[in-house]
Amino acid sequence: MPLTLPSVLCPVDFSEPSRSALAYAAAIADHFGARLTVLSVDDPLLTEVAASTGQIPSLADVTLQELERFCRETLTNYESGPKKVEFRVTVGKPAVGILREAAAIRSDLIVLSAHGRSGLRKLFFGSTTERVLRETTIPVLVTPDAKPSSKSLSEIASHIHRIIVPVDMTDASPYQLKVSGGLAEAMSVPLIVAHVLEPIFVPYHVRLAIPGAEAARRAEAEETLSRLATRISPRVHVEPMVLTGEPSEEIVTLAKARQAGLIVMGLHSSGLLGPRMGSVTYRVLCRTEALVLALPPGRDSQMTSTIESSSTQATAR
């Protein structure tokens, strides 16, 4: 049993996409009994202008009032939702302010939209979200634009159908599997463990000398993936899958075809011999309509422990 509440941070910029992120963050906080911190980052130049005019007592106070109003308008179950909600306002560049606040409150999870007042999905996602993902040391849940129609995480989970965890079979993969397996068990949904083989050029003379090289490469990947999948709880239905193609395209296509509502991605580079998983995550975020949980290299958190405890309790029931 955790000694302190897990913590969820949700930055909002008062856009419709951030309203969606807030709804997801509140459902997660409510389900896991977490503290929810709703954050807004004021522009420093606007703060100076507001202070110099003397027309308002404090821009931070006005923003704080707007945050509370935004929260009440967004969360129809505000009064009966997360039991611990805090509102914070800071000044600075949005991504810097978010990361600084996450560290200050020791957040276990950041929930934010793929883009807010800047950025268009399918072309690029918000620059704030991009920088947070590049520098975060804690998991980040990136939400789609549409606000969830359900109020609780259990109802949202019923629409997820299945989870996909793309792994590159490096040292970071076991942590991805641990988190995604815990989520799949807690939500009682199947888990697809996928690895994408990028096409490679095989010189003609090599093909002659080793005619089965490509088949052997695939067989080795399938064997390694199956071995990794055995680390997941036997209570989770696991489907190992080896695909061939451009990683982000294959992941997005697979998620759509199999109605996977959640993709658990890694934020790391797999080195010279494999794709940069960070860039794959970036391209997936540009194109998918699914929830994406982005994990920095292995960092067990309070939220991870809470997920595992929740899945165990769900199994016991």
Domain ranges in the chain?
A: 1-145, 160-317
Considering the domain 160-317 in this protein, what is its CATH number? 3.40.50.620
Q: Which of 46-55, 81-90, 204-213, 282-291 has the lowest mean pLDDT?
A: 204-213
pLDDT at 61 over 70: yes
CB 281 within 8 A of CB 252: no
Same fold, 1-145 and 160-317: yes
More confident residue, 3 or 36: 36
pLDDT tens-digit series, residues 102-134:
999 999 999 998 865 444 443 445 678 888 888
pLDDT band at 145 (very low <50, low <70, confident <90, very high): confident
Calculate mean pLDDT across residues 256-285. Answer: 74
User: Coil, strand or helix: which one is 83?
Assistant: coil
Which of the following CATH numbers is that of domain 1-145: 3.40.930.10, 3.30.465.10, 3.40.50.620, 3.40.50.800? 3.40.50.620
pLDDT value of position 283: 85
pLDDT value of position 210: 65
